[in-house]
Amino acid sequence: MNTIKNVPSRVLSRRAGHGLEADREQFDRNQAISISKAINTQEAPVKEKHARRIILGTHHEKGAFTFWSYAIGLPLPSSSILSWKFCHVLHKILRDGHPNVLQDCQRHKSNIREIGDLWGHLHDRYGQLVNIYAKLLLHKISFHIKHPEFPPNLEVTDDVLEKAAGTDVNDIFQLTVEMFDYMDCELRLSESVSRQLNTAIAVSQMSAGQCKLAPLIQVIQDCSHLYHYTVKLMFKLHSCLPADTLQGHRDRFHEQFHSLKTFFKRASDMLYFKRLIQIPRLPDNPPNFLRASALAEHVKPVVVIPNEAPEDEEPENLIEISTAQQVEQVVAEDIFEQTFGPVNGIMKDDRDLQIENLKKEIELLRAELEKIKLEAQRYITQLKAQVNSLESELEEQRKQKQKALVDNEQLRDELDKLRKMKLDNDKAVGMCSEAEKRAQSTETRYMKLKEKHNELVNIHAELLRKNADTAKQLTVTQQNREEVARIKEQLELQMDQVKRESEMKLEDQSFQMEQLKQALDAKKEELMQIQQSLSNSEQAGSKMSSQVEALHAEQDSLRNTMMAKEAELLFIQKMIQDKEAMLTQEKNKNAQEIKGLQERLSEKEAREKSLQRKLIDDQFSIIQGTVKEAENIIQDALAKLDDPLHIRCTSSPDYLISRAQSALESISSLENGHAQYTQNLTDATGLVGALAQFAHLTADTIVNGSATSHMAPTDHADRLTDSCRDCGNRSLQYLNELKDRQSLRHADPAGVKRSLESILHLGQELRPKNLDIKQEELGDVVEKEMASTSAAIEDAVRRIEEMMNQARQGSSGVKLEVNERILQSCTELMKAIRLLVLTSTDLQKEIVESGRGAATTQEFYAKNSRWTEGLISASKAVGWGATQLVESADRVVLHTGKYEELIVGSHEIAASTAQLVAASKVKADKNSQNLSKLQQCSRNVNEMAANVVASTKSGQEQVEEKDTMDFSGMSLIKLKKEEMETQVKVLELENKLENERMRLGELRKKHYALAGVYEDQEEVVKPAPLPRAGILKKPQLAQKPNIPPKQDSKLDKGDGVYQAHLVDY
């Protein structure tokens, strides 16, 4: 009986509704699987089969609804690789998916923008690429939404391009600019990927490199079309507009041409692209748009995607949906007939059914194959027309880069100028801010000082505002004064003009009066002549009567004329008097106005002088407040010199030197601020800031000088304390001089400067002098010490072997077993130490080679002298510890030493090797293989040292015999007496133990002091000779780095360790 293990659901239920729901569920499940496989966190390229299924899914549902429903749920912010693959798949869907995909992506532009902005703010190797890719996708969606004539795959004919461009020059111009922007986005992505990848062939064959290179296939396809369209549009623009107008377009096209040509050349040289895409070659030179005939020479570049070999994947349905449903129905009927038999009892052979099914499938596949061939042929014909056109934009891109570099340099120069101007303008503000920062660092201890400082800053700001108001009033007063002077000049001009007019009128009137007088004199003379003639002609009588009457009439008329002239003269004189009265009134009025203005001007000048005096007084009061606070700071620092609680505080000479140098630098700023204030008493900003900085740094130097003296020899400590006290007193004396207006101008901080230089000199004397070697000899000393240490360890191994042979000859039994075990553990420890020294030497060579650069090895050691001294000291300590351990083992084997010496020697050599590892680890790369080996060797040394200690303790227990305690024959009184004596011994031993622990602590303190702070006084008197390379004497340790102190609960005074507090004011 035929059976089917898994019966399809469509066979169990024939209803169409259930079948559609099942098909939809199956489709969603397949899409989810394809999306999850295509978009994942693996640094590998997206497989074509998964992307092809997603693209077919968009054609199946006629949109990208299912894709976006799953893509929104992806954790894109958690992985940059995931976001990169999402952008790649979205680009492929836009190009090859259903046309409705563009509208679906338009609705989700905000999601794409958020992902791009998120990764743009993070410093991730894929994050920056995701940001650029997201911008490209957004620009692509916006372009195709705005220009629906261009599909997302940019495949249109020249006729469609002409129709989209239209006949309006403005539209063609705008479309060309938008295509240039589109091309810039594509090229920016390719350049970003190229910068992150090495262009070697091996990189393109790695999965990590292919993950970044895979999206460039779509970029190449887009760029080939965009290049062709921009060439067409540029020729069309040059046929409509003059060449000078399109110079910018030509420059931009040339830049894109050379960039695109470089991109195609680089991509064609990679093996990864050779099997996936055929990249076209662009011409050597860009098209000449100034020559219209060059359009005929242009060849459209064609990108060819070769046929790929079928991948190992599940079979796909490449047929239409309706046909697939028919096939599924036929297959379901066949399965039903195979399961339950034929419907009408007609039996068919299984082979016949299979043959029929296979024939139908072959026919369907042939039809689909023909369709695919036709489509491929169409693509090939379209792409072949574009083969030779995308190689003309690198030079323009280089020019653009050079322009960008030049602009960048100019912007940097402008930025430097602005920074210098800002530094010059904000010097006083910088001083105040620095003072505020220092006050904030000690806020918990000097809250009161901070409040007073804030008050001073507020007062200073208020005074600055008052100063600005005064300056404004002064400018207003000056403007009023100028206006008064201008009015005065105008009045004087008017008065001069009126005077000139009145004088001219007076001259005219006087001239007329003289003419009238002359006429009157003439008439009088004529009248006298007439009277004479009348007297002479009285005899004529009757003949002359008529003449006389006529003359009388003429005389009357002349008299009337004269009277009229006199009246007119009187009127003119009256007018002149009125003009003179008006002129005198105007003069008096102008004099009164000028007097009032002069009084107002004098009042303004008096107010200005009073405000200036007030400003000078306020500036002086600010200085006095600052001086008072500075005195408090200096006095507080001087009080620390005699404070018993300050005795436990210590500091290093190096830090004291840095503080003293900073204080000396602040004195220069103080002198500059003092000079500025003496030149301009209305501006004390520089002096106030310099005083605050000077007070803090000087007090810090005094406190750290006192702390350093606690670890110095007596002579140096006394001198350093006296210098600190002298520095404080001189600082107070200088500040006291600043309190008086007379002495302020002549105040000189030279005494304070000499005191600080004395403290600096003492600090330099107290610096460690562990290695009296010239810096140029440090490299030779390091090599000698490492070689000497290795030789000492080899000698120790040889001596241990000799002691083992002697022990076998001179002892037997338990002692021989104990000696062999101890010597064997010592031998293993020496071998481990020798391996550690060799590894440390290799790591040291690696550090020197990686850190010296172009300098020599000696120069590198000289430049890092402190690290070199620590390395030499650690190497000496290891050699000395190995020698001491061998000598202790020799004494134990010969029964002249103690087992405790071996235990202490093991601890000492473990500490020395730890010091050598720490000294080597300081400058080593954390990813260095030699560093890992050195750490492993250090752990082996610790294990071997622990084995030596364990062997020693077990051997000691075996060798030493313990007395049995038999108290059976003792009475109660005797037992009580023995108990009391035992208690007395216990107390004595505890007291002795406590004394020895205290002595150990003092010895450690002295050892650290000699190694890290200063040398013996004998070395000050007599210079130490050059240390030999031998290891017979334990070397001094180099100065240890500043390590934060442990908590108080972890310190044990019995171990001789005391916490040091460094007070920083």
What phi and psi values does residue 292 have, to the nearest 5 degrees? -65, -30
Largest CA distance in the chain: 212
Q: Which amino acid is at 245?
A: T
pLDDT at 271: 84
Span 532-556, average pLDDT: 67
Res 664 pLDDT > 80: yes
Place of tokens 């002595």: 999
Nearest to 98 by CA among 66, 135, 127, 73: 66
More confident residue, 106 or 786: 106
pLDDT at 585: 85
Of 6-10, 88-92, 770-774, 911-915, least confident by mean pLDDT is 6-10
- pLDDT tens-place string over residues 704-729: 898 888 888 888 888 888 999 999 99
Of 28-32, 39-43, 946-950, least confident by mean pLDDT is 946-950
pLDDT at 1042: 37
Torsion 72-73-75-80 (CA) sign = negative
Of 109-113, 637-641, 666-670, 980-984, least confident by mean pLDDT is 980-984
- pLDDT tens-place string over residues 781-830: 666 767 777 777 777 777 777 777 776 766 666 777 777 777 777 888 78
For the chain, the average pLDDT equals 76
Of 49-53, 65-69, 423-427, 794-798, least confident by mean pLDDT is 423-427
Of 65-79, 747-761, 904-918, least confident by mean pLDDT is 904-918
- The CA distance from 154 to 221, in Å, is 9
pLDDT at 1030: 33
CB 701 within 8 A of CB 756: yes
pLDDT at 398: 63
CB 254 within 8 A of CB 390: no
- pLDDT tens-place string over residues 400-427: 666 777 777 777 777 777 777 777 766 7
Of 132-146, 535-549, 1032-1046, least confident by mean pLDDT is 1032-1046
pLDDT at 142: 94
- Burial class from Cβ neighbours inside 10 Å (0-12, 13-18, 19+) for residue 128 reads middle
Q: Which amino acid is at 14?
A: R
- The CA distance from 482 to 597, in Å, is 11
How is residue 212 written in tokens? Answer: 């970044």
pLDDT at 594: 85
Place of tokens 């072959």: 362
Of 100-104, 257-261, 577-581, 723-727, least confident by mean pLDDT is 577-581
DSSP structure class, residue 566: H
- Burial class from Cβ neighbours inside 10 Å (0-12, 13-18, 19+) for residue 1049 reads exposed
CB 717 within 8 A of CB 602: no
DSSP structure class, residue 1023: P
Span 451-460, average pLDDT: 72
Res 1029 pLDDT > 50: no
DSSP structure class, residue 393: E
pLDDT at 940: 84
